[in-house]
Chain A
């Protein structure tokens, strides 16, 4: 497993306004429910994700987090607004945006390495080369020992690591993660948080990560957006540095128990309760 040793390796983000990164402009999504009833799942959401950002969306269920991610992934066509990735409009799903799902969504008929190299297979990469890439990504998530295992033998945390590896094998620009740790036990969850940050640091990809856990959000984010429901909106944004401190070598528990972490955690909890 890679360890975070080179915080300086990450490039500094381009100044805002530059075409790099991901830009979300006035994104709105309205769902038609029933005959003349609609749900405003997203309402004029604006967000810029810079090249080195780890953006975490935090909010109670129903505030539009999954809807936002679905738009970014291209699974859902927004009612209004636009999404630009490196200056190009997003229309439909694509290899440049990899998705890790809450319920893994792996293919049980394929073993670990065939799951991890699925995207390369679809792109017509020959078997030797795609296994080479997949093996490297499996090593990155600590699963190279399990390359030939059937996925139904794996635990929940391992399944999510395969999901991460198959996204990385496609070398996307951004990793989209919808509550990927929601179904894991507390211990697995903490180690997965660290693993995801290590992977993010090692690969230098943008990340968009959804959770409803305040501590997780605060620990993972470089930018933390707090969302509120009906209509789905971003109500608060925080720039935080805990994840950068983690990849620079500070222990996770030390960060999570530091006074500034706890203070901010309580502040965010208050904000969330106030917006309910």
Chain B
């Protein structure tokens, strides 16, 4: 017999690998301690950074105008929850930013995913969309921001469009790559079970592409959030990016740091949320 022994309980073999002891990610498989040891190290390094900040600001290694103390930043955070900074409170700024990013995101989902799928399936669609996407994708958003302002003015629309463009390319490209993750055997199986071409697209290709699409949505969301500050440089009166820019003009460094932390924490929360959705929607990812 030439078959390889197929075992359903092969995992524990690597439990005491050096990589795991060093807290490095082991390459695949549910090996013990995948998150455990890095979590400890990460917590320590984060606490160390905060401690360093605390010491540096309290010891006045850096003047408070450049580096306010953690307490000052926390105090500023609590204050701006209730009192407006600029036009609105912290919550108002946050909602304005989230609204822009999520509208752009929704717009990108309903356009980029069909475009990406079409590119994956059809040579014609690939021919049409490849040049524009490949051209603008590496451009920094700030490079085409002026043109968007000329075309769409300085209102909400141009901010949403800027963020939208940042999300569109990665999302369309992952949908396109997702189409390729369907195997030839799966397509053949569907056809020999009587699936028509359109049934194959809707019942096989779309599902097979879903893991990549969800990853693209997560990455796109990250890009969109990254573009936020650039978008809010355009005559905004509200928004986290605007709040930070405004504060930096007046050297209100505690608001700047507080704003950056809030932007970062929201980005992290969105990322974790998207990962959670991925696990819920495609529990089979990477397993079959």
Contacts and interface: CB of A to CB of B under 8 A. Distances in A.
B193 A150 contact: no
A122 B199 contact: yes
A73 B188 contact: yes
A75 B189 CA distance: 10
A98 B193 contact: yes
Contact of B194 (A94, A106, A109): A94
B196 A184 contact: no
A130 B207 CA distance: 21
A: interface residue count bin:
35 or more
A107 B284 CA distance: 10
Contact of B3 (A74, A166, A185): A185
A135 interface: no
Interface in B27-78: none
Interface string A71-87: 00111000000000000
A186 interface: yes
B5 to A, nearest CB: 5
Given A93-B191, A98-B193, A101-B185, A155 B203 contact: no
A151 B288 CA distance: 8
A14 interface: no
A125 B8 CA distance: 36
Nearest to A123: B194
B189 A101 contact: yes
B3 A189 contact: yes
B183 interface: yes
B6 A183 contact: yes
> Chain A interface mostly helix, strand, loop or mixed?
loop
- Give the most central of A109, A150, A156, A189: most B CB within 10 Å: A109
A106 B96 CA distance: 45
Contacts of B284: 108-109, 150-152
A99 interface: yes
B240 to A, nearest CB: 37
A107 B283 CA distance: 13
Contacts of B195: 118-119, 122
A186 B207 CA distance: 34
A73 B288 CA distance: 24
A185 B192 contact: no
A156 B6 contact: yes
B287 A152 contact: yes
A211 to B, nearest CB: 10
A99 B192 CA distance: 7
Interface string B1-28: 1111111100000000000000000000
A99 B188 CA distance: 9
A75 B190 CA distance: 11
Contacts of B2: 212-213
Contacts of B189: 99, 101, 105-106
A253 to B, nearest CB: 14
A108 B282 CA distance: 9
Contacts of A123: 194
B111 interface: no
Given A122-B195, A213-B1, A105 B283 contact: no
B210 interface: yes
B194 A103 contact: no
B204 interface: yes
Given A107-B207, A151-B288, A95 B194 contact: yes
B3 A93 contact: no
Nearest to A100: B189
Contacts of B1: 186, 189, 213
A182 interface: yes
B4 A97 contact: no
B186 interface: yes
A75 B187 CA distance: 10
B185 A108 contact: no
- Give the most central of A75, A97, A122, A155: most B CB within 10 Å: A122
A170 interface: yes
Contact of A155 (B3, B6, B188): B6
A212 B204 CA distance: 31
B138 to A, nearest CB: 33
Contacts of A95: 192-194
Interface string A4-38: 00000000000000000000000000000000000
A260 B204 CA distance: 47
A170 B5 CA distance: 32
14 contacts: A75-B188, A93-B188, A95-B193, A99-B192, A107-B207, A108-B284, A109-B284, A122-B193, A151-B288, A152-B287, A181-B3, A183-B6, A186-B1, A189-B1
Interface of B: 1-8, 183, 185-186, 188-196, 199, 203-204, 207-208, 210, 282-284, 287-288
